[in-house]
Structure 1
Amino acid sequence: MTPPHRDASAPHPDSGIRIRVRMRARPIDEPHRAASPLELLFDLTFVVAVAAVTGELAHEIAAGHGGAGVVPFLLVFFAIWWAWMNFTWFASSYDTDDVAYRLLTMVQMAGVLVLAAGVPAAADHEDLRGVTLGYFIMRIGLVTQWVRAGIENPDGRRTAFRYAAGMTALQAGWLLRLLAAELGALPADAHVPVFVALAVLEMAVPPWAERAAPTTWHPHHIAERYGLFTIILLGESVLAATRGVAGALEESAVSSPFLVIAVSGLVVLFALWWLYFLAPAGAGLRDRRHRSYLWGYGHYGIFASLAALGAGLEVAVEQTGHHVAASPAVICYAVAVPVSVFLVVLWLVHALIVAAPLTRPGAVAGCAAAVLLLPLAAPQLGVAAVVAGIAALCVLLTAVTIASR
């Protein structure tokens, strides 16, 4: 007897693996849409990349070169954030979870790991060969996904091919930038401006591509994915602070400043987590899809500030155990500036998609300003007292926000 025909797109009866699924746009209102196990695994590769860039920034701050380390940090973090962004929004619209999709996602994960390996050279010597190679590998996987979407989903073909063409053209730009730098044809003072120009063009691709027809990303799925990445970055800050704890304990016994900074750092991170998740973004993105670009791009400030905060806390804890070149004021600003940026940008991005933000703008502005003023007292009060003051202000803002709901 001839066995019954089984649709190749259907799950295997034993393994549950979908061998081949036609790539169609997923419904905007798909019920119970949540992050997949593959997306969670994909995020874990970024733990390595973020840890690398955070560790390099902490090293620069401790050495007294925090100002010089900020620009390389922001540039490399852009590459990390943009790679995550591209995968996340594509997956929200076209995730098939079949074998081809999984394998191409693995290619992108490999690119993230290569990028992470290139972070130290990029931060120390502005050598972007490793970062560019990792980015190129990620683009191979993602461009292939968009080409597949264009072939298999006629309704979104023009948009998908626009994405693929834009990404390919920009990748050629990144490779030309690297080649020009290697040959000495790109002046040293032009490295950053050219990087910024290419980054701006990268962010212009999605609005341009979706003029043809918007993709069907799921608002609650996107909100969940951003929340999960926020938690990853908060975890990275905890990890960075733990490295500082280990470094301090190697040099001396537990001291009062050590305990104050360690506890205060945890309180700051917990307060920022509380503030971020006070207002779920899914409903706002559903009702104001036209503002999704500003909301999504604005998260660069949120994510980068959390990563930078981890570096600041690492140095703040570490300096209790041994001498570091950075002054107390610089160390305190390495904590205060990221906290202030986080608070202001968080209010801005949520104000884009909700009618009445839970956190009042006056309270946010007052708290951010007070946080930035506290480091001025670091020479008199010490790092521990300033970090404790920052923690107290974050707790106060959280309490005021909760009370006003």
Structure 2
Amino acid sequence: MATRGERNRLVATEDGHRVTPAELFFDLVFVYAITQVTALMAGNPTALRLLGGMVVLALLWWCWCCFAWLGNVVRADSGAMFTVLVSVMAVVLVVSLTVPEVYDDVPGGLPAPLLFVFCYGAVRVLHLATYWISSPGDDALRTTLRRTALLSVAPPFALLLLGAAFEGAPQILIWLTAVAIDYLSIYVTGRTGWRVLSPGHFAERHGLIVIIALGESIVAIGVGVTGFAVSAPVVAAAAAGLLVSAGLWRLYFREVSAAAEHRLAELTGDDRTVFARDTYTFLHLPLVAGVVITALGMKKTLHQVADTDHYDLAEPLHGLTAWAPAGGVGLFLLACAAILLRTAGHRSPVLLTGGVACLAVGPLVAMVPALLALGMLAGAVTGTLVLHGRTGHAGGGQATGASVVSIRLRRGSAHEHEDHAAADERAGE
């Protein structure tokens, strides 16, 4: 909790800093944003629209990551920082409203692509400006901020503006180029300057955004059956969809998250920065994207199972929607495998094999009834968890256990620090 003197200024965090309610409030707008990305792809489920949806997701992810990093060095519940967060929330809300129209602008309103681009640019500028104000004596960070503005913000923003003047494939490809330049610039120039002061806070923030994405997969189940009778096949499909989401949750939080946090806490200086950039900023994007694609598949599957007037229970999914449920899971599994590899150099044959198989199974899914395909996917996710648990390397379990201990020690140290601070304050009074 910020003190009275901290209410009107930016306040630095410390090693034991945890996620604040202000950051949880900030994440609410991204719940809606991710839902809108799913709706964007569901409206026209083609390969091109899937690519366009991933481009939009990558831009939204960058907006979220900017303030995940900033919230690790500046308290989000301080007065000045909270004002910035609410301002960014307002801008991102406008961005989210434009997402369904970003490739198919509806006449009669504001130009959605341009509004999207200008609001995205405003978020990036607010991020850099707040970072600059928060670090008056940090020359390394300010050098990095200038480099980021010149290479990672200005050129991509210009390309986004250019792409907004086009429609269809040209627009998506130009925006994809902007995203590639943005991410590549951060990869090349983002090795120094940035700070991760609290590993626990940083890992927890990314765990929360994974929860938000998984929540979208569950919401998609409900949206898919809205307006239809709740039948036995609908209940079965909903149960299978929930089992898929639960399996992804367990894989990430029991096998991946704790080990990554433990490794992050072990590192210091620029090594910690590079690991945080690679593992969390870059490798968590395909992980979240996998959940969003899976949500798209679940939404279409549940709709088809529920809409008995237009579909038969024996009818399979078609086109991209046939690939989406398993394809999204496959992307998630490969992202988890990449995180484990980056964390401890551990290759997981189970996750790699399962991920590749899920990505390639689309043509077979198109020959199986939709309900059966979803049930088989739930079984495949469960089987992957069991096999990974049995064949996982011993070091992964040790890392997980050590992470739990280190988290408890940090929390205990933080509480002890707070107790000493309170005692000193009482003594001063």
* TM-score higher than 0.5: yes
Contact 1:247 1:321 in 2 (8 A): no
Determine the C-alpha separation between the residues in 2 that align with 1:303 and 1:158: 31
Q: Which residue of 2 aligns with 1:137?
A: 122
1:11 aligns with 2:28: no
Q: Which residue of 2 aligns with 1:50?
A: 34
Q: Which residue of 1 aligns with 2:264?
A: 285
Determine the C-alpha separation between the residues in 2 that align with 1:301 and 1:395: 21
Q: Which residue of 2 aligns with 1:41?
A: 25
Contact 2:37 2:53 in 1 (8 A): yes
Q: Residue 71 of structure 2 aligns to a residue in which SS?
A: helix
Determine which of 200, 214, 219 is the counterpart of 2:199: 219
Determine which of 136, 144, 151 is the counterpart of 1:151: 136
The structural deviation recorded for 1:160 is 3.7
1:345 aligns with 2:322: no
Q: Which residue of 1 aligns with 2:8?
A: 20
Specify whether residues 254 and 165 from structure 1 end up closer, same or farther in structure 2 by C-alpha distance, changes over 3 A only. Answer: same
Specify whether residues 355 and 368 from structure 1 end up closer, same or farther in structure 2 by C-alpha distance, changes over 3 A only. Answer: closer
Question: Which shifted more, 189-198 or 131-140?
Answer: 189-198
Amino acid at match of 2:142: R
Specify whether residues 148 and 243 from structure 1 end up closer, same or farther in structure 2 by C-alpha distance, changes over 3 A only. Answer: same
The CA deviation string for residues 248-281 of structure 1, in whole angstroms up to 9 with x for no partner, is 43xxx5143x233211111000000000012312
The structural deviation recorded for 1:122 is 1.2
1:368 aligns with 2:355: yes
Specify whether residues 38 and 67 from structure 1 end up closer, same or farther in structure 2 by C-alpha distance, changes over 3 A only. Answer: same
Aligned residues: 373
- Once the two structures are superposed, the pairs formed by residues 130-279 of structure 1 within 5 Å of their partners are 130-151=115-136, 153=138, 156-166=141-151, 168-170=153-155, 172-174=157-159, 176-177=161-162, 181-182=164-165, 190-207=170-187, 210=190, 213-249=193-229, 254-256=231-233, 258-279=234-255
RMSD, matched Cα: 2.9
Determine the C-alpha separation between the residues in 2 that align with 1:221 and 1:230: 14
The CA deviation string for residues 46-100 of structure 1, in whole angstroms up to 9 with x for no partner, is 0111111112212223xxxx32321221111111111111111122123364222
Specify whether residues 160 and 23 from structure 1 end up closer, same or farther in structure 2 by C-alpha distance, changes over 3 A only. Answer: farther
The CA deviation string for residues 312-351 of structure 1, in whole angstroms up to 9 with x for no partner, is 1011000113237996243331211101111111111221
Contact 1:332 1:387 in 2 (8 A): no
- Once the two structures are superposed, the pairs formed by residues 109-128 of structure 1 within 5 Å of their partners are 109-125=89-105, 128=113
Amino acid at match of 1:399: V
Determine the C-alpha separation between the residues in 2 that align with 1:194 and 1:286: 38
The CA deviation string for residues 274-299 of structure 1, in whole angstroms up to 9 with x for no partner, is 00012312112233523332212021
1:60 aligns with 2:44: yes
Normalization by structure 1: what TM-score?
0.82
Amino acid at match of 1:226: H
Contact 1:139 1:171 in 2 (8 A): no
- Structure 2 gaps of 5+ residues are 107-111, 393-429
Q: Which residue of 2 aligns with 1:314?
A: 299
Determine the C-alpha separation between the residues in 2 that align with 1:380 and 1:356: 36
Determine the C-alpha separation between the residues in 2 that align with 1:168 and 1:150: 20
Determine the C-alpha separation between the residues in 1 that align with 2:36 and 2:81: 28
Contact 2:336 2:351 in 1 (8 A): no
Amino acid at match of 1:11: T
Specify whether residues 328 and 37 from structure 1 end up closer, same or farther in structure 2 by C-alpha distance, changes over 3 A only. Answer: same
Amino acid at match of 1:350: L
The structural deviation recorded for 1:164 is 4.6
Specify whether residues 304 and 324 from structure 1 end up closer, same or farther in structure 2 by C-alpha distance, changes over 3 A only. Answer: farther
Q: Which residue of 2 aligns with 1:398?
A: 385
Amino acid at match of 2:123: M
Specify whether residues 210 and 386 from structure 1 end up closer, same or farther in structure 2 by C-alpha distance, changes over 3 A only. Answer: closer
Determine the C-alpha separation between the residues in 2 that align with 1:187 and 1:115: 18
Determine the C-alpha separation between the residues in 2 that align with 1:209 and 1:342: 27
Contact 1:285 1:292 in 2 (8 A): yes
Contact 1:163 1:206 in 2 (8 A): yes
Question: Which shifted more, 294-303 or 211-220?
Answer: 211-220
Contact 1:167 1:205 in 2 (8 A): yes
Determine the C-alpha separation between the residues in 2 that align with 1:167 and 1:95: 25
Specify whether residues 217 and 297 from structure 1 end up closer, same or farther in structure 2 by C-alpha distance, changes over 3 A only. Answer: farther
Determine the C-alpha separation between the residues in 2 that align with 1:366 and 1:167: 35
The structural deviation recorded for 1:381 is 3.6
Q: Which residue of 1 aligns with 2:369?
A: 382
- Structure 1 gaps of 5+ residues are 1-8
Specify whether residues 380 and 202 from structure 1 end up closer, same or farther in structure 2 by C-alpha distance, changes over 3 A only. Answer: closer
The structural deviation recorded for 1:214 is 4.1
Contact 1:241 1:311 in 2 (8 A): no
Determine the C-alpha separation between the residues in 1 that align with 2:190 and 2:278: 15
Q: Which residue of 2 aligns with 1:85?
A: 65
Question: Which shifted more, 370-379 or 306-315?
Answer: 370-379
Amino acid at match of 2:113: L
Amino acid at match of 1:57: M
Specify whether residues 381 and 139 from structure 1 end up closer, same or farther in structure 2 by C-alpha distance, changes over 3 A only. Answer: closer
The structural deviation recorded for 1:210 is 4.3
The CA deviation string for residues 150-175 of structure 1, in whole angstroms up to 9 with x for no partner, is 43645643334444555552465256
1:297 aligns with 2:282: yes
Normalization by structure 2: what TM-score?
0.78
